[in-house]
Amino acid sequence: MASDREVLREIWEGKLPVCFQLHSEEVYALQAPDPYYLMVPRLSYFPLVTDKVRKHFSRHIHPEKREAEMWLDFNGQPLKWHYPIGLLFDLQGSDASLPWNVTVHFDKFPEREILHCPCREVVESHFMSTLKEADALKHRGQVASSMQKKEHNQLWLGLQHDKFDQFWSVNRRLMEVGSSGGGSSSALSGSGDEAAFFRFVPFRCYVPNLEIPYRQRPIRPCAEDGRCRTLGDLLEELFPEEKGQTGKEVRVVTHGVEPPKEVPLQWLSEHLSYPDNFLHLVCHVIPVKRLPSMSASSSSPAHVSSE
Amino acid sequence: MNGELSWEEFLVLMDDFLEISNGIGDGWALFGEKNVFGGAYAVKREERSGKSVENSNLNSDLEETNLEKILEDNSVVETEKNENKGRQFWEYHIVYSVSYSVPVLYFNAWRDSGELLTLEEIWNEIPPSMKPDAEDKYWSLISQQEHPLLGKPFFQIHPCQTANLISAIKGIAGERIFIPWLSTVGPLVNLSLSPLYASKNAKQIE
């Protein structure tokens, strides 16, 4: 069970200042409406926090578009509402200055690029199904499926209303170890202290500017010899092409911070997972500059934190 | 018996399946990269004519818009006996789920105009005999998701029960589960499997 409660709290409280502006071509008035500023939780989803944004701008668009599905873009790139806000920022906006400038649209919904989101129930069902998927990896789905509807609601309401205690009183069960595999998994035997590890670590690695949205593998948090596997081990398995190539380095950003490569995967999964129980890791493959007078770290951009 | 498949097992089954498909000219083809974990998938494209718009029980607003669109665009739609048969393009993908270790069926359907069919419209294309007894069951089974390899919106038959289904199939059909699996889930999304698969599959098992 997660014990570093302060870390959980810090992650939960991560927020991003966002400036919403109506797309200039959709302004149906003499003057463009004022931008709308919001401080949004990194762990939330845009459709859960943008009711007021919609209300603010809907008076300034063509009357026929007022009931249309609202969508957002950053730098011309439609934002996938089904990714947590913090992930979207780490993925697309981390070079941008704060507040994060996001453009609001009511017209020309890019249905080939992003999922439809007609109502909050769609967000809920997406969130719950991702959470169950994570539990399939961690505990063969046995924890999530043993929960009552009431507990599922508590997870969802906790996230939706930004209630840490409500969410974590149930989520802690999903972070428990030892109940995996129902005791009959031969694959798990011989992997050391089984009771201290998930079956697999639920994670997705996003590499910006690649056609494939993310990389995912079944990766165990513990090696054959019982040793804790680390973030560095995960990266080696996921980016074999970079292994041995000294010219490139993979840098991982999640929740606006860069976790050290030696952090054990089990700890990372218990503490830095998003509420959907997945680790969403943004991986930048960057060339290491080998010029003698310049170090790699000083030439790379500073990462914007959520504070 | 566990219904999970490793990526390697999935590849073997998919190769078998593609070989049979090629043999009977069913049109499935391999995309993506086999040497990347979970990176290859099978695709089938079909062109169909859509059902009558009037027969569908869409809400009236939607129906009107569809009719208007279809009537405006006579070049692509034959109108006969109040029946508007628009051309539709259906695409099916068999993708490996890394989380559930099972094959997953993704699909999309487009009109001639390039507009995607909604889930309501897809429901109306399913032959009545293939529909689950309750419509809300359908909504819980199928949802729009991001395609894990293309990053684009696709409909997906939710994989969380697939391992159970596969483990039941294994009890009856042995290890070659691709064809029985696809012939079970396919009809839910307007994909029927040629009976030729059964005979070819049986031959291969012998």
pLDDT digit string, tens, across residues B112-145: 998 999 988 888 888 777 777 777 777 778 899 9
Closest Cα of chain A to B35: distance in Å? 12
Contact B98 A216 (CB under 8 A): yes
Residues A243 and A197 placed together within one structural domain of the fold: yes
Residues A94 and A127 placed together within one structural domain of the fold: no
**Residue A297 domain-assigned?**
no
- The domain of A225 spans 120-287
What pLDDT was estimated at residue B175? Answer: 74
List CB contacts (< 8 A) between A80 and chain B: 146
To the question of pTM greater than 0.95 for the whole model, the response is no
Residues A223 and A95 placed together within one structural domain of the fold: no
Residues A131 and A101 placed together within one structural domain of the fold: no
| DSSP secondary structure letters along A272-304 | H--TTS-EEEEEEEEEPP--TT--HHHHSPPPP
Residues A172 and A283 placed together within one structural domain of the fold: yes
Residues A182 and A71 placed together within one structural domain of the fold: no
Residues A131 and A226 placed together within one structural domain of the fold: yes
Residues A92 and A134 placed together within one structural domain of the fold: no
Please report the ipTM that was assigned to this predicted complex.
0.86
Q: What number of C-beta contacts closer than 8 Å exist between A and B?
A: 55
What pLDDT was estimated at residue B200? Answer: 65
The span from the CA of B26 to the CA of B17, in Å, is 10
Chain A window 85-114: which residues touch B at a Cβ cutoff of 8 Å?
A: 111-114
In tens digits, chain A (307 residues) has pLDDT values of 446 889 999 999 999 999 999 999 999 988 889 999 999 999 999 999 999 999 999 999 999 999 999 999 999 999 999 999 999 999 987 777 899 999 999 999 999 999 999 999 999 999 999 999 999 999 999 999 999 999 999 999 999 999 999 999 999 999 999 744 444 443 444 444 557 899 999 999 999 888 899 999 999 999 999 899 999 999 999 988 766 666 788 999 999 999 999 999 999 999 999 999 999 999 998 887 665 544 444 444 444 444 3
**Residue A193 domain-assigned?**
yes
Contact A211 B101 (CB under 8 A): no
Contact B101 A218 (CB under 8 A): yes
**Residue A7 domain-assigned?**
no
Residues A82 and A211 placed together within one structural domain of the fold: no
Residues A182 and A49 placed together within one structural domain of the fold: no
Cβ of A149 under 8 Å from any chain B Cβ? no
- Among B98, B110, B118, B152, the strongest candidate for a mutation testing the A interface, having the largest count of A CBs within 10 A, is B98
Contacts with B129 (C-beta within 8 Å, 6 or more apart), sequence order: none
Residues A162 and A83 placed together within one structural domain of the fold: no
**Residue A8 domain-assigned?**
no
Q: Select from B100, B145, B153 the Cβ nearest to the Cβ of A111.
A: B153
Contact B160 A211 (CB under 8 A): no
**Residue A247 domain-assigned?**
yes
For position A165, which CATH number holds? 3.10.20.90
For position A33, which CATH number holds? 3.10.20.620
A105, A133, A153 - which closes a domain: A105
Tally of domains within chain A: 2
